[in-house]
Chain A
């Protein structure tokens, strides 16, 4: 009876680079930590599952519907397909509390079966979707839509600030009900949403150095906190990797860290405004065996028509540009992040 989505089999591995999590509580259990992604609200674990991976409860809190007086089982089945794993489950409803904001009757997916290791290894315990309702698995109403409907927020706006601090101990923030001017400089540039699913916008041009290299006649992109890197069509990204001097190394594209100062900027022209990423912004630096390792923040991902092709301005981009998501006027606001 489970409706499996057969539309795509692209290897979706974005969770590999996930670094941002937030506390989230479904009454009355302990906090769990979801990933912000798409428009699904899903919990990985449910206690009634006999099919659940035995490693699961060791790495994730298990959800106990029977312990909640406010829980209601809706019963619809849902399925989410990932390239390296999948999950199926049922829809339930309960209070969902995020930092003191309590949403009543929030429907969410409770995972019953998770083949493979994808969601066992992943540190996050669920997904808190921030997209439009059309994107929601199982047809549930997303959390922020319920926040708006229940008048929990003054403005139909949420914002994301991702700190560039590589240690990440400080102050990244999701803001419901508005935005915080202290997190960006100058004024927000508002960009109309072109398709209400993901937060999709139009790109005018993409430049490498001072040369227009991609998107000559305009193209489409999504601003997506659930994507860690900056993705684009695979053949374009291959050209881009070559343009910045990245070469294959152990299955991923990397650069010589000593070359950061000579690598080109990559600029996205959006609604007439330039958004420039320096090499320090689009190269991910890491220590491997005490040696500095510099991997490319660009990744090829082909999204077939009619949804694609799409560029995905993920965390690599949002770390540099504070992002405001305005459901009232269906627009995205961007401005340079204050470090």
Chain B
């Protein structure tokens, strides 16, 4: 006997911000430079 819990997939916040052209602003508002961060 197993208990199944269905998972729903939603559009991610990153996708929403990207679609609205706001992703770069988000990085700035959070003082994050993901390219620099990755480096």
Contact = CB atoms under 8 A, between A and B. Distances in A.
Interface of A: 11, 13, 15-23, 33, 83-84, 98-101, 121-123, 152-154, 162-163, 165, 167-169, 171-180, 228, 234-235, 237-238, 241, 248, 250-253, 286-288, 293, 299-300
10 contacts: A17-B14, A18-B10, A83-B30, A99-B3, A99-B4, A153-B3, A174-B4, A234-B39, A251-B33, A288-B18
Given A17-B14, A122-B13, A179-B2, A250 B23 contact: yes
Contacts of A152: 3
A172 B24 contact: no
Contacts of A122: 13
Given A174-B4, A252-B35, 9 more contacts: A13-B30, A16-B17, A21-B8, A22-B8, A154-B1, A163-B9, A169-B9, A238-B39, A286-B19
Nearest to A252: B34
Nearest to A166: B9
Contacts, number: 125
A288 B22 CA distance: 12
- The list of the 10 closest CB pairs from A to B, nearest first, reads A168-B9, A300-B38, A172-B7, A178-B2, A16-B14, A176-B3, A174-B5, A248-B35, A99-B5, A20-B7
Given A154-B1, A286-B18, A174 B34 contact: no
A235 B5 CA distance: 38
Given A84-B30, A123-B13, A293-B18, A251 B35 contact: yes
Nearest to A160: B7
B37 to A, nearest CB: 7
Contacts of B39: 234-235, 238, 300
Contacts of B4: 99, 173-175, 180
A18 to B, nearest CB: 6
Given A176-B2, A250-B23, A253-B38, A168 B8 contact: yes
A22 B6 contact: yes
A252 B2 CA distance: 40
Contacts of B18: 286, 288, 293
Given A162-B7, A252-B35, A288 B13 contact: no
A122 B12 CA distance: 9
B6 A173 contact: yes
A33 B8 CA distance: 10
A150 to B, nearest CB: 13
Contacts of A18: 10, 12-13
